[in-house]
Chains A and B, each alone.
Chain A
């Protein structure tokens, strides 16, 4: 059977966009794990809460149909910032109220607490927006949603769709990824975070406030999850109290795949999973008639298990030189 380049390119675009979003969430898992070695199972729900808050923020503006580009962009920006603040504050509070008290408890304690918080947040989500899938309030009109940059703006003769919506996702996500990398590798706060991740006691001897630094990691991870919440809600045009489960699971897998604790690894893992996801959901079907989206988790976790078997530290995770 002949290779369908157009279709491949189509799913490539979808995969990269989804991958960037997964990376945004994966970074929250990896940041927190890197610094306190805790898998924050509530992270997916922090993402969901961000999505929910952004919907409320958009409703509060009450956009009328026929709003112009500038107005849409402004409301989007405000809704996204609100979601970032909310999720950041939420994640920070969870650490402050729960995890900090369990810092020297057996490792199972914060892990179980995280699972508990995840269900509590789902409950709050149901109370807040109901238990069914909801349509986000009007923000991006349908005609704008379907604008194809390649044909409508560039006048190209192609059947590939690269929508303004896809571009917007990339334009919102990439600067956040760069900002995070700048924070962690170029600032004093970032240096403190890396120091605490490596040796908490030694970091304290340097004058670093360990609890505050850990709190910052939760705050930053939450901020990224909030941004992802807004973007996913409007990119997929749906929201649901369980949305944190699938995205959270894929993002966590991405973090592990790339090497948990490693920022570049989270981004790489996110892209890989985004691509595998879109190729499996759509592209493979054109070649394997019985293939369908229901097999996607099998492929994703198959890839994960393979990588774990051959490189247990993940793709970019390194065995740390611990010299005495």
Chain B
């Protein structure tokens, strides 16, 4: 069903994260109608699509907060789609969810420590890495997270996810609601994180920026993948240009 821009579909069995034909429902409402995608080690893969397309549902299903009715998700070859969210997190999937969802009443430091919950204690190296990516968080260590600005909260949500030292980092619209300058900063940091070896699955409505930093991308529409290809290929695709980059 999905139309691949690339000449031939590649074998996805060696992928770090492999999503195979999942369907997810909210009660009787079907939000995902057979989504397949894969993310290889070291890649930045982006999932773009308009409001209500099913991007967040896809990430929530990968993280185990929602259970797919059919289909499978594997991480490094290991089945994760039958496991609850806390187990999936422990296996190496971290997410900075839509709307940040940081722990408002706790300090910045406590939020970061919770990010490392699966490891027991936070690793000083992880903490140093997060603080070097987001110096602002180090300055605000003892501040109550809910009192920080929107941009700072987004940094905390990403930093918190990094504290888990994940095999795959899921980011759900990290640029939403940020000033243009901060959007650029966040995309730069996503590239830095990836350059340091973290595999990233990035959900975005800002298709232009997302495709510019991504190795590959998927376009999702009403619960289905309608297009996939390299970032460059998708940027040059007519349909993408019309629907997501606002050109006519």
A contact residues vs B (CB 8 Å cutoff): 188, 191-192, 194-195, 198-199, 201-210, 320-324
Contact = CB atoms under 8 A, between A and B. Distances in A.
Contact of B114 (A195, A320, A321): A195
Contacts of B147: 321
Interface in B148-164: 148, 150, 153, 160, 164
Interface stretch (B35-43, B96-104, B133-141, B192-200): B96-104
A271 to B, nearest CB: 24
A323 B65 contact: no
Contacts of A323: 104, 146, 148, 150, 153
B120 interface: yes
A175 to B, nearest CB: 25
A206 B89 contact: yes
A9 B86 CA distance: 53
Contacts of A194: 103, 105-106
Contact of A205 (B89, B148, B150): B89
Interface residues of B, number: 35
Nearest to B121: A188
Contacts of B118: 206-207
B166 to A, nearest CB: 10
B85 A320 contact: no
B174 interface: no
B164 A322 contact: no
Nearest to B160: A206
Contacts of B164: 206-207
Contacts, number: 83
A242 B106 CA distance: 39
Contacts of A202: 97, 101-103
B106 A208 contact: no
Contacts of A322: 104, 146
Nearest to A324: B99
B77 interface: no
B223 interface: no
Contacts of A324: 99-100, 150, 177
Nearest to B153: A323
B104 A204 contact: no
B23 interface: no
B110 interface: yes
Contact of B101 (A201, A210, A320): A201
Given A191-B110, A192-B117, A204 B101 contact: no
Contact of A204 (B85, B146, B148): B85
B104 A210 contact: no
B52 interface: no
Max chain B Cβ within 10 angstroms of own Cβ: one of A203, A205, A206, A209: A205
A205 B97 contact: yes
A320 B103 CA distance: 11
B101 A207 contact: no
Contact of A206 (B84, B99, B100, B115): B115
A209 B146 contact: no
Contact of B65 (A201, A207, A320, A321): A201
Contact of B117 (A199, A208, A320, A321): A208
B86 A320 contact: no
Contact of A199 (B85, B101, B113, B115): B101
17 contacts: A191-B113, A191-B117, A195-B114, A198-B103, A201-B101, A204-B65, A204-B89, A205-B97, A205-B101, A206-B164, A207-B89, A207-B118, A209-B86, A322-B104, A323-B104, A323-B150, A324-B99
Interface in B30-57: none
A192 B86 CA distance: 12
B65 A205 contact: yes
B63 interface: yes
B19 interface: no
B94 interface: yes
B65 A198 contact: no
Nearest to A194: B106
